[in-house]
Amino acid sequence: MDVQNIKQRFGIIGNSSLLHRAIDIAMQVASTDLTVLITGESGTGKEVFPQIIHHLSPRKHGNYIAVNCGAIPEGTIDSELFGHEKGSFTGAHEARKGYFEVANGGTIFLDEVAELPLSTQVRLLRVLEVGEFMKVGSSKVIKTDVRVVVATNVDIPEAIEKGTFRQDLFYRLNTVPVYIPPLRERKDDIHLLFRKFAADFAEKYRMPPLRLSDEAIHILRNYYWPGNVRQLKNITEQISIIEKEKLINADTLRNYLPQASRPALPILYRQEKDEHFSERDLLYKVLFDMKKDITELKKIVIDLLEKNPDDVAMKKTKALLVKHVSDDSINLINPENEELKIVHSAQPVPEEEKIHPSEIIEESLSLQDKEKEMIRKALEKHNGKRKDAAGELGISERTLYRKIKEYNIR
C-alpha cells in the first residue's frame, strides 16, 4: 500500500512533502512494536496517525483504544489506565480493568501524554520497559502486550526543564518520532482543504458550495492558522451557514479570520514571565541600587568634609569625591604597578591633588569610622528614631537601616 492509498483510506487531504514524510514513517514503523511519539501543534490531525499504524500492523485485529490524558482528572487517571481493585478508594465498589489490560494484544493511543502526572509517568515507564503494571490497590503484577503510540502538542524538552515531564520517559517514548506539520508549513494544501470542507458542508446543509475570489485565496494561504486544520474546518462551516453569497471575497473572509491583518512572520523571541529574571537583569538591578546608595553616601561624606575645612587630607578626599559626584568619574587601580588613575572626560587632576594608594586606604578607613560616628550621633540626637536620624543625615531610612546592620551599631 502506498501513500496515496493511505490518504484515500483515512481521508487525508494534502500533497505537502512534510505530510507525505509523516505518512511514510507511520507506514514503515507499523509492522514493528516500536513506541511512536507523534508531535505537532493542536489541530493538525495527529489522531489519524495512530490509526494508520494500528491498521497496518499485525495487531490490527486486536483492540485499539484512544485515551485523551488531558481530559481525565488526575485523581482517577491511574485507575483509568491500569484499573483498580474493589475497595481500593472511595467509590470503588467493584474491581475494574484498565485500558492497558483491555488493550492487551492491540494498540493504545495516549493523546496529550505530557498532561500525565509524574506518578503516572513512572507507571507508564514500567509498562514500556518490562510490560508490567499493578492495579490501584493491588500488589499483584499483571503482564500486558500492548503497542503504545503517544502524541503531544507540548514542547517536551521544555517540560523536562520545568520538571513536569520525566526525561527517561521521553527517551523511551521517542523511539520513532513523527512530526505533523502545521498548515502554515503546507500552504498549497490550505485551499484544497477549504474546498473539501466546503463541499462536505454544502452536501450536509443542502446548499451551493463556497467559492473564493483570487484575493481571498491569497489571504487564506498566508493566514497564520494557529488552530490549523481544526480552525480551517470551523471557519469554513461558519461561512457556509452565515453567508448567503457563496462567492467569498477578501473583505468577507477577513471578517472570519481573527487578527487577519497580522503578518505571518516568524516569532523572533518569547517574552519571559515576570517571575523568571535572567542573571544579567538581576546584575543590572543590583548595580543600579549600588550606584544610588553610593551616590547618597558620597553626599553624606562631602557634608562631613565641609565641617572640617582646614584638614589637608580632607581637602584631597573632598576634591576626589566632588569629581565623582559631578561627572561620575571612576577610580581604577592597575594591578601591575598599583598606581591610582582617575578616568573622566574633564581636565586632569592637579599634581597636588593626586593621592597615593596608601593614602586612599588610610582615608577610606577613617571615612568609614567617621560615617559610623555620624550615624551614631544622629541616632543619639533623635533618641534612636531612625526616620528622624535618616532625615538629619540626608539619606533614606532603608539605607540607614542597612548601614546600622553593616556597622553593627547598637
Claim to verify: residue 170 and residue 250 sit in the same structural domain:
no
Listed range (80-84, 195-199, 253-257, 267-271) with the worst mean pLDDT: 267-271
Query: C-alpha grid cell for residue 68?
Result: 485523551
- Does the pLDDT at position 354 exceed 70? no
Q: How confident is the model at residue 256 (pLDDT cuts 50, 70, 90)?
A: very high
Claim to verify: residue 16 and residue 143 sit in the same structural domain:
yes
- Does the pLDDT at position 178 exceed 80? yes
Q: What was the pLDDT predicted at 351?
A: 53
Listed range (136-140, 197-201, 226-230, 299-303) with the worst mean pLDDT: 299-303
Higher confidence at residue 327 or residue 246? 246
Q: What was the pLDDT predicted at 59?
A: 96
Q: How confident is the model at residue 313 (pLDDT cuts 50, 70, 90)?
A: low
Claim to verify: residue 295 and residue 351 sit in the same structural domain:
yes
Higher confidence at residue 90 or residue 144? 144
- Please report whether residue 353 resides in a domain: yes
Claim to verify: residue 175 and residue 27 sit in the same structural domain:
yes
- Please report whether residue 260 resides in a domain: no
Claim to verify: residue 131 and residue 28 sit in the same structural domain:
yes
Instruction: Give CA separation, 39 vs 77, 223, 232, 244, in Å.
Output: 22, 22, 20, 39
- Please report whether residue 267 resides in a domain: no
Q: What was the pLDDT predicted at 33?
A: 95
Claim to verify: residue 286 and residue 343 sit in the same structural domain:
yes
The amino acid present at 211, given as its one-letter code, is R
Instruction: Give CA separation, 100 vs 118, 227, 336, in Å.
Output: 18, 31, 72
- Count of structural domains within the chain: 3
Q: What mean pLDDT comes out for the span 181-202?
A: 96
Q: What was the pLDDT predicted at 270?
A: 43
Give the domain extent around 227. 184-254
Q: What was the pLDDT predicted at 284?
A: 58
**For a pLDDT cut of 70, what percent of the chain falls above it?**
77
Q: What was the pLDDT predicted at 390?
A: 82
Angle between helices 397-407 and 279-306 (to 10 degrees): 90
Residue 147 belongs to what H/E stretch?
strand 147-152
Q: What was the pLDDT predicted at 321?
A: 55
Listed range (9-23, 55-69, 84-98, 349-363) with the worst mean pLDDT: 349-363
Angle between helices 188-205 and 228-242 (to 10 degrees): 40
- Please report whether residue 238 resides in a domain: yes
Claim to verify: residue 338 and residue 293 sit in the same structural domain:
yes
Residues 406 and 410: their CA atoms lie apart, in Å, by: 11
Q: Which CATH number do you get for residue 173?
A: 3.40.50.300
Give the largest Cα separation in the chain, rounded: 103
The dihedral built from the CA positions of residue 195, 200, 202 and 208, taken in this order, carries a sign that is positive
Decide: 363 and 319 in contact? Cβ < 8 Å: no
Residue 177 belongs to what H/E stretch?
strand 176-179
**For a pLDDT cut of 90, what percent of the chain falls above it?**
60
Q: How confident is the model at residue 300 (pLDDT cuts 50, 70, 90)?
A: confident
Q: What was the pLDDT predicted at 397?
A: 80
Claim to verify: residue 174 and residue 189 sit in the same structural domain:
no
Give the domain-ending residue among 116, 147, 181: 181
The pairing of strands 247-248 and 211-212 is: parallel
Question: What is the model's pTM?
Answer: 0.63
If we measure between CA atoms, which residue out of 309, 200, 295, 215 comes closest to residue 260?
215
Claim to verify: residue 65 and residue 166 sit in the same structural domain:
yes
Mean pLDDT (the chain) is 82
Higher confidence at residue 84 or residue 389? 84
Query: C-alpha grid cell for residue 258?
Result: 481573527
Burial class (CB in 10 A: 0-12, 13-18, 19+), 211: middle
Q: What was the pLDDT predicted at 314?
A: 60
- Please report whether residue 29 resides in a domain: yes
Claim to verify: residue 140 and residue 191 sit in the same structural domain:
no
- Please report whether residue 274 resides in a domain: no
Claim to verify: residue 390 and residue 248 sit in the same structural domain:
no
Claim to verify: residue 190 and residue 177 sit in the same structural domain:
no
Give the domain-ending residue among 121, 155, 181: 181
Q: How confident is the model at residue 258 (pLDDT cuts 50, 70, 90)?
A: confident
Higher confidence at residue 267 or residue 150? 150
Q: What mean pLDDT comes out for the span 376-388?
A: 85
In the chain, what are the helix, strand and coil shares in percent, each to the nearest 5?
Answer: 50, 10, 35
Angle between helices 3-10 and 17-29 (to 10 degrees): 90
- Please report whether residue 391 resides in a domain: yes
Q: Classify each residue of 124-156 as buried b or exposed e, where b means 16 or more C-beta atoms within 10 Å of its C-beta.
A: bbebbeeeebbbbbbeeebebebbbbbbbbbeb
If we measure between CA atoms, which residue out of 357, 300, 361, 359 comes closest to residue 333?
357
Decide: 153 and 40 in contact? Cβ < 8 Å: yes
DSSP state of 353: G
If we measure between CA atoms, which residue out of 143, 150, 196 comes closest to residue 172?
150
Residues 378 and 100: their CA atoms lie apart, in Å, by: 76
Q: What mean pLDDT comes out for the span 269-275?
A: 41
Paired strand residues for 177: 37
Q: What was the pLDDT predicted at 285?
A: 59
Q: What mean pLDDT comes out for the span 170-180?
A: 96
Q: Which CATH number do you get for residue 218?
A: 1.10.8.60
- Please report whether residue 271 resides in a domain: no
Q: What was the pLDDT predicted at 378?
A: 85
